[in-house]
Structure 1
């Protein structure tokens, strides 16, 4: 082997040795990096900035469940940097994600301050030692979903009663075809059940319309006097049958902005309730007044009243404080829900004052608008003495 070949062989051997050395160095660096990733709790670059830009509560925790980074919104759930996770449910969720290597999601209840909230929590492994937890508050979504389920359930239940009665009465009429008196009796009952079914269907549709996102079609200046007069007239027969006197008092000439039909139905529903829950010979008052740039329409009765435990729920759909009496009076359980949504769609509110055995006062409050006939800046007039002014929630008996 000549000198040239020896030099070439030496060069090849040198290259192989050098490549091996470089490979060993690269392997060592990679191994050290893998070890660092497995044992390090350093946050990946940009993690803190990402967390601060999140709307949901989010934290990054290490294997000991210590919070290393947190979003600004995480503080409402008492999740702060350098504190440990207190929630056993969150700890369990993190362990599941770390054991399986795939994100874990679970619905649970966490406290926001002292208030329990329903949340959807998701844990994802971002490094061998770090886990990201994202917490989304779904309390309102769950409440709406529960209301939807209750509405479907209650509607089905309420519709079954008159539908079942109609079917039974139809069979009874057929069986009593040879007895005119019985037929007439069953026909009257059939007509009553059909009317009840029609009212229930109509109210469900009205409530659905009020809860829709569409704007009210007919918005104009509405005379409160006309609204109150129409509502009283609509309940005149019911009041006479129940031997109830309806008295109208307070200011006149006030105007609001809205749909006269919807507002009339709202006041009419309050009157219907007052009449239904008042004893024979009692008086129901409708009072109107201007207060702080708003019109207050108060409907007061001296009936059975509403227990305090039920007062927060009477505006719910199908809720009845007195189930037995509501059945006897033919109530649908939707009247006050319609009132609440009708008033809210007009930018107003409705308040309740009530004491068992002393009666109830429902007060609708709507924004006052100026009328071309009567400016808002005029001085309030004193109530006429010919009518009894209904007490407001502030001065109810």
Structure 2
């Protein structure tokens, strides 16, 4: 074999060996890249355990926005493993985090079932291909904050009127110092505005106390007979002035556990409301119905009634069904709101039935208690259970 042939053979062998080595290197590089990709897609150790221990909604999504792990509360928002991340705004947040390679927080809306909720969502990368999204429902927090802002704004507005009136009347009295009749006239109006201002301030403080987290302190077994009698008596002057007759009927000797002053004010507010919205010469009924579980107190009037579209708003602070009438009667728009919160603080509920032109019935339901031992003994001695009494006074028909 001549030298030329030997050289060609050596060259071919070298090329073959070089190609094999290059192929081995390429395979090794590809294997390394696959390992890196798999490592970036795989969940870090302990991630699922951490998610399952979270009270907030939390999910981990991959580059295709598919959920690969989720906390238990995430199911409330329809977020489960192997399901695409819901919500256009939420998906846009994840894409932004991926591009920016930095954590981002946004306030957005998601649906919990069919209910829209306001949430705070924070997205952050945990591997090159996985993103952690933590979602906190802030709907109630924002609602409370909005109520606080509305309360401050409404209170400022309501206080402005009587404060301005007091200031003007004081100036009028000073200007009319030489006219005793005018002084007496302005002084009587000043007294009325001062009383209105005092009532408004007192009701704002009472409502604030009822809405606070503090528990009621003056708790005892309260006689509903005592509460109803005191509530009617507190409105007797207003009833006489308006020509309204207040009738009490229904069961006797019912008891609840609560604060007698708070309950008396709540029922008194209902009676005052019924008087204010009833025509002269009308009748307001206060009836009680009770059994071993619940005591019901119904206050019924034959007044102007409330349109169905406005009934859900009557328990809002400062809401008035009839602005002109409320101004004439000195209403603050806080009475029914106080009723709602007072009843809720006693573990009860208040319900409204109303028809325009036919009147309204507010029914308070409270958990019943047995009452004093002597009353319990007397009940046990009864041989025959009396028929269930209506919560409405005689002559009052059920709506």
TM-score grouping bracket, smaller chain normalisation: 0.7 to 0.9
Do the aligned partners of 1:271 and 1:299 also contact (CA within 8 Å) in 2? yes
CA contact (8 A) 1:251 1:380 kept: no
Instruction: Give the drift of 1:346.
Output: 1.7
Q: Return the offset for 1:266.
A: 0.9
Contact 1:58 1:134 in 2 (8 A): yes
Report the Cα distance in structure 2 between the residues aligned to 1:200 and 1:133, rounded to whole angstroms: 47
| CA offsets 1:350-380 (integer angstroms, 9 cap, x no match) | 1111111111111111222222232255534
Spell out the pairing of 1:99-178 with structure 2 (5 A cutoff). Answer: 99-178=99-178
Unaligned residue ranges in structure 1 (runs of 5+): 1-24
CA–CA distance in structure 1, aligned partners of residues 151 and 394 of structure 2: 37
Change (3 A) 1:390 1:39: farther
Moved over 6 A (4+): 381-384
SS in 2 for 1:36: helix
Q: What is the deviation of 1:35?
A: 7.4
Provide the residue aligned with 1:21 in structure 2.
none
Report the Cα distance in structure 2 between the residues aligned to 1:132 and 1:268, rounded to whole angstroms: 55
For the pair 1:373 / 2:342, whether they are aligned, the reply is no
Measured after TM superposition, the shift of residue 217 of structure 1 is 2.0
Cα offset for 1:390? 7.7
| Kept after mapping to 2: 8 A contact 1:300/1:390 | no
Equivalent residue of 1:341, what SS?
A: helix
Q: Secondary structure at the match of 2:83?
A: coil
**Cα offset for 1:272?**
0.2
TM-score, L = length of structure 2: 0.86
Contact 1:108 1:118 in 2 (8 A): yes
The match for 1:22 is none
Aligned to 1:76: 76
State the partner residue of 1:200. 200
Counting matched residue pairs gives 365
Cα distance in 1 for partners of 2:126, 2:306 equals 56
Name the TM-score, length of structure 1 as normaliser: 0.86
Corresponding position of 1:272: 272
Shift of 1:89: 0.6
- Distance in 2 (CA, whole Å) between partners of 1:83 and 1:296 is 50
In structure 2, the gaps of 5 or more residues are 1-24
* Distance in 2 of aligned mates of 1:118 and 1:63: 25
Describe the shift of the 1:81–1:237 C-alpha distance in structure 2 as closer, same or farther (beyond 3 A). same
Q: Which residue of 1 aligns with 2:352?
A: 352
Cα–Cα, structure 1 residues 100 and 342, in superposed 2: closer, same or farther, change >3 Å? same
Aligned counterpart, 2:16: none
Tell me which residue corresponds to 1:242.
Answer: 242
In structure 2, the CA distance between the partners of 1:84 and 1:35, relative to structure 1 (3 Å rule), is same
Residue of structure 1 in register with 2:257 after alignment: 257
Residue aligning to 2:12: none
Q: Alpha carbon RMSD of aligned pairs, Å?
A: 2.4
